[in-house]
């Protein structure tokens, strides 16, 4: 007799979760009144789960599917409870879940195409980069704006997760074969030594500066960064503004990675390490306050040019480029300390002015009473 093959444990988990989702959302849909949202999720959630498992399983045969299934189980459990207790919140959470699933399936498609055709067309890569950056920015925005997690802690945690995903997806190897057209755009010179991407960067800085300083929506970002409580009092959506800021930040970070890949024609797993500190130093050097509300795009762009010129300056004066990170760290510490001292002094001066004005008003009232 032929031996019966044992079904993997992940298959049993998948069957169990599909049954759990169908029964759970089905009960919520018809228990104590009809819920159209729960009935919709009863049909969609198992389909989305199977699509994730099959897509990622085909692309990464050695992937631990049990972790993916357990993660979906927790998402399904939370949605079932929300459908029963807070249906208005359940729709919003399902929207975020759908975005995550869509990005997973899109990543599966793009990576599969890259493996089959050896190279992706640059418009497809650009679309994938923008979508991935927006998703990461959305995750950061939800964590900071909705849950109130300190931005530094949450973004550093997200950075670690993304770094880990890079190692997993690339198997620790350098990614190449971006296509000849992308490499040609990366080194295309318009005039003198101004490349295409330098020209686009100048245009983007100019547009962003105009939006932030001349439009009402742009001024919301400055108002929220300066005084979130005051902005909320005048009717500005603080949470929505922060969320949009993080999404835009993710998109621009993704575009920066796209430019990096097109310029060098390959991406190593360690590419971009330490760039976050350089970016912070460039912004503060350009006059942007770490507490928010001060600074402009032109100053940040000038700071970025200065910070990116450090390695060339080291070569010019005869020092090895290994001093780059050390000098960047020293500059960041000095700039942050100076920024903190400047803010403390401005706060003290404002406090003295208020005290002097109150003293003058009190003295004037006393003279009036004596008269």
Element of type H or E holding 308: helix 297-308
Which residue would you say has higher pLDDT here, 32 or 270? Answer: 270
- pLDDT band of 117, cuts 50, 70, 90: low
Q: How far apart are CA 77 and CA 86, in angstroms?
A: 13
Identify whether the C-beta of residue 303 lies closer than 8 Å to the C-beta of residue 289: no
| Percentage of the chain lying above the pLDDT 70 cut | 76
Q: Does pLDDT of 110 surpass 80? A: no
Residue range 211-225: mean pLDDT, rounded:
85
Tell me what pLDDT residue 49 has: 74
> Which residues, 6+ apart, have CB-to-CB distance to 314 below 8 Å?
320, 321, 323, 324, 327
Tell me what pLDDT residue 277 has: 79
Tell me what pLDDT residue 179 has: 55
269-324 pLDDT per residue, tens: 777 777 887 888 888 888 887 777 677 888 888 888 888 787 777 777 777 767 77
Q: Does pLDDT of 22 surpass 80? A: no
Q: Does pLDDT of 4 surpass 50? A: no
Residue 227 sits at φ, ψ, to 5 deg, of -155, 95
Residue range 46-68: mean pLDDT, rounded:
67
List Cα–Cα distances, 222 to 3, 211, 280, 289, in angstroms: 69, 11, 17, 11
Q: Does pLDDT of 351 surpass 50? A: yes
Which residue would you say has higher pLDDT here, 361 or 240? Answer: 240
User: What does pLDDT average to over the chain?
Assistant: 75
Tell me what pLDDT residue 345 has: 80
Chain-centre distance of CA 201, in angstroms?
20
Q: How far apart are CA 266 and CA 268, in angstroms?
A: 7
- pLDDT band of 25, cuts 50, 70, 90: confident
DSSP state of 292: S
Coil, strand, or helix at residue 371? coil
Quote the pTM value: 0.63
- pLDDT band of 195, cuts 50, 70, 90: confident
| Percentage of the chain lying above the pLDDT 90 cut | 0
Which residue would you say has higher pLDDT here, 229 or 364? Answer: 229
List Cα–Cα distances, 137 to 158, 219, 254, 276, in angstroms: 10, 20, 10, 14
List Cα–Cα distances, 257 to 59, 66, 311, 314, in angstroms: 24, 32, 20, 25
Residue range 45-67: mean pLDDT, rounded:
68
Using the structure block, give the residue that is written with the tokens 């997690």: 149
Nearest alpha-carbon partner for 269 in 128, 115, 165, 156: 165
Tell me what pLDDT residue 28 has: 73
């Amino acid at each position: 007799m032929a031996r019966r093959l044992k079904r993997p444990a992940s298959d049993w988990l998948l069957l169990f979760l599909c049954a759990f989702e169908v029964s759970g959302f089905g009960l919520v849909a018809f228990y104590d009144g009809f819920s159209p949202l729960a009935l919709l999720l009863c049909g969609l959630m198992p389909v989305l789960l199977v699509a994730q498992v099959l897509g990622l399983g085909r692309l990464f045969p050695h992937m631990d599917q049990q972790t993916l299934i357990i993660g979906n189980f927790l998402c399904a459990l939370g949605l079932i409870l929300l459908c029963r207790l807070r249906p208005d919140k359940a729709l919003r959470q399902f929207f975020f879940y759908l975005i995550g699933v869509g990005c997973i399936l899109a990543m599966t498609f793009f990576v599969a195409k890259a493996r089959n055709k050896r190279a992706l067309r640059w418009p497809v890569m650009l679309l994938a980069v923008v979508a991935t950056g927006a998703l990461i920015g959305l995750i950061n925005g939800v964590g900071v704006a909705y849950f109130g997690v300190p931005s530094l802690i949450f973004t550093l945690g997200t950075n670690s997760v993304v770094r880990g995903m890079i190692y997993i997806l690339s198997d620790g190897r350098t990614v190449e074969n971006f296509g000849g057209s992308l490499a040609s755009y990366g080194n295309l010179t318009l005039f003198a030594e101004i490349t295409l991407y330098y020209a686009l960067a100048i245009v983007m800085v100019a547009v962003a500066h105009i939006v932030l300083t001349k439009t009402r929506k742009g001024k919301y970002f400055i108002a929220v960064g300066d005084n979130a409580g005051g902005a909320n009092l005048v009717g500005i959506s603080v949470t929505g503004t922060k969320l949009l800021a993080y999404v835009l930040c993710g998109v621009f970070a993704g575009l920066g990675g796209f430019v990096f890949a097109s310029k060098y024609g390959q991406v190593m797993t360690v590419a971009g390490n330490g760039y976050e500190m350089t970016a912070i130093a460039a912004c503060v050097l350009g006059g942007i306050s770490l507490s928010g509300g001060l600074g402009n795009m032109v100053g940040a762009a000038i700071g970025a040019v200065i910070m990116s010129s450090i390695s060339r300056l080291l070569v010019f004066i005869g020092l090895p480029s290994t001093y780059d990170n050390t000098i960047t760290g020293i500059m960041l510490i000095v700039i942050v300390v100076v920024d903190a001292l400047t803010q403390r002094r401005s706060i003290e001066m404002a406090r003295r002015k208020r005290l002097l004005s109150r003293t003058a008003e009190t003295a004037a009232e006393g003279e009036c009473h004596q008269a």
